[in-house]
Each structure stands twice: as structure tokens, then as C-alpha cells.
């Protein structure tokens, strides 16, 4: 694929990334209450910088959660609308995967536990390992209480790696509860996912869906999502 656009509004950070050939253009800003006003402007900026339009894209990548319910809805809805109007395939990427990919890109992390603050004394969490520079997920995304991360069932799989890194706002907010024995090295600079890491991961591992089949990844089961008309 020659031209691919990625966007994410799932957390406090609003970001986009556009890859055209070997050129990568990005925009990112922490604007937790302005995503709906900022995202399309960012999209237009990167398209203009590369002198292309949405019609020139081969695919879209979107962060589909978990994260802020409102933020996830905005990102998925925008991606769905753009993809539907231009008949583009969409590649959804988890925010937890994006955090792990960022830790690998910036720190060459060998094993990463991504954790996002889910409020209500819980986190969204998933473990990953570095597989030839790509984040490989070892267990599905889950909700977890604020307790020692080593008590989770998949810890032994991650701990087989010498140095386990922590990425995401969950570590920033609840590090003492999650990491009481300092068995995880928290990457303080890797707190929020970026669209550029979603794009990098998607181009290698992503699975495209049609716009009408794109769904948010909430993890909390009680949250409903309204699909496009005509979909079950």
C-alpha cells in the first residue's frame, strides 16, 4: 500500500499519521476535550503536506480502543465515515498494542505490559513481546483491578524475558499498586498511544475490515455500540 492514513482519539491524545511511500508525516496533541474539533483538521494538514486527498489513500488505520468511551467513539466514527465515503478498507489497532509498539520503537523493549487507566480503580491491560520489532500480543485485552501485576495469569509468559517494561497511563497513575516489588521498569515517556505506531504495526500485522464492520474495543461488555444502518 502506497498511501495509508492512521488516526486515534481513544485517549487524551489526538494523533494522526500519514505514510506516502517512504515518507511519514504526523500530528499529535493532548486535547482530551477537543478531539472532535481537532481530528479532521489534523487529517487535512497531513494530506495537504503530501499534496494528496482522501481519494488517493489505499487504506485507513484507526485506534479502536480501549480508552475513553467518548474518545473511542469519535475515532471509530470518523474512520468509519471517511472509509465508507471513499470505499476504503479499515485496519483497527488496539491502543494497548500501539503503546507496546511505541515502547519497542523508542526503547527496543523486549517485553511490554501496556496499561491504560480505566478509572473506577481498574486498568485496561495486555502483555506483549518484541517479535522482530513488532508487538506480539500474549493475552487478550482485559480489565484488571489495582493489584500486583505479577498475580495475573499471563505474568509467567512475560517474565521469561529478562527486562519487562511498563507503558501507559495505568503505570503512571497506579504504579505503586501494580508494581510493588519493582519487577516492571516503567517507561515514563511512553504514556499515550500514537497513530504512527498503529500505522507501523498495521502495515505488517493488521487485518482490514469493511467500514460497516468496524467496531470499538471497549473491553467493558456493558457498553453498546450502534452500527451503521442495515447491520446486525
pLDDT tens sequence for the chain (232 residues): 799 999 999 999 999 999 999 999 999 999 988 999 999 999 999 999 999 999 999 999 999 999 999 999 999 999 999 999 999 999 999 999 999 999 999 999 999 999 999 988 999 999 999 999 999 999 999 999 999 999 999 999 998 877 999 999 999 999 999 999 999 999 999 999 999 999 999 999 999 999 999 999 999 754 444 554 544 4
* CATH class name, domain 3-94+193-213: alpha beta
Confirm if 214 and 115 have CB atoms less than 8 A apart: no
Whether the domain at 3-94+193-213 and the domain at 96-186 fall into the same CATH topology: yes
Q: Candidates 3.40.50.720, 3.30.420.40, 3.30.559.10, 3.30.1130.10; correct CATH number of 96-186?
A: 3.30.420.40
CA 65 to chain CA centroid, Å, is 6
Name the DSSP class of 209: B
Contacts of 35 (CB under 8 A, 6+ apart): 9, 14, 70, 71, 74, 75
Looking at the whole model, is its pTM more than 0.85? yes
Amino acid at each position: 500500500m502506497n498511501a495509508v492514513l492512521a488516526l486515534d482519539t481513544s485517549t487524551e491524545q489526538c494523533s494522526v499519521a500519514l505514510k506516502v511511500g517512504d515518507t511519514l508525516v504526523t500530528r499529535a496533541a493532548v486535547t482530551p476535550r477537543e478531539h472532535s474539533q481537532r481530528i479532521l483538521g489534523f487529517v487535512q494538514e497531513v494530506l495537504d503536506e503530501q499534496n494528496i486527498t482522501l481519494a488517493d489513500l489505499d487504506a485507513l488505520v484507526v485506534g479502536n480502543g480501549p480508552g475513553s468511551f467518548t474518545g473511542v467513539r469519535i475515532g471509530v466514527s470518523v474512520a468509519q465515515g471517511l472509509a465508507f465515503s471513499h470505499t476504503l478498507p479499515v485496519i483497527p489497532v488496539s491502543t494497548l498494542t500501539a503503546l507496546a509498539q511505541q515502547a519497542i520503537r523508542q526503547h527496543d523493549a523486549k517485553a511490554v505490559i501496556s496499561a491504560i487507566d480505566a478509572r473506577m480503580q481498574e486498568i485496561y491491560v495486555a502483555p506483549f513481546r518484541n517479535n522482530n520489532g513488532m508487538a506480539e500480543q500474549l493475552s487478550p485485552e482485559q480489565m484488571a483491578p489495582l493489584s500486583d501485576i505479577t498475580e495475573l495469569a499471563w505474568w509467567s509468559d512475560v517474565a521469561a524475558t529478562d527486562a519487562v517494561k511498563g507503558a501507559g497511563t495505568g503505570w503512571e497513575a497506579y504504579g505503586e499498586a501494580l508494581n510493588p516489588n519493582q519487577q516492571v521498569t516503567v517507561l515514563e515517556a511512553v504514556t499515550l498511544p500514537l497513530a504512527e505506531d498503529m500505522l507501523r504495526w498495521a502495515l505488517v500485522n493488521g487485518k482490514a475490515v469493511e467500514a460497516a464492520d468496524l467496531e470499538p474495543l471497549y473491553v467493558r461488555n456493558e457498553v453498546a455500540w450502534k452500527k451503521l444502518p442495515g447491520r446486525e
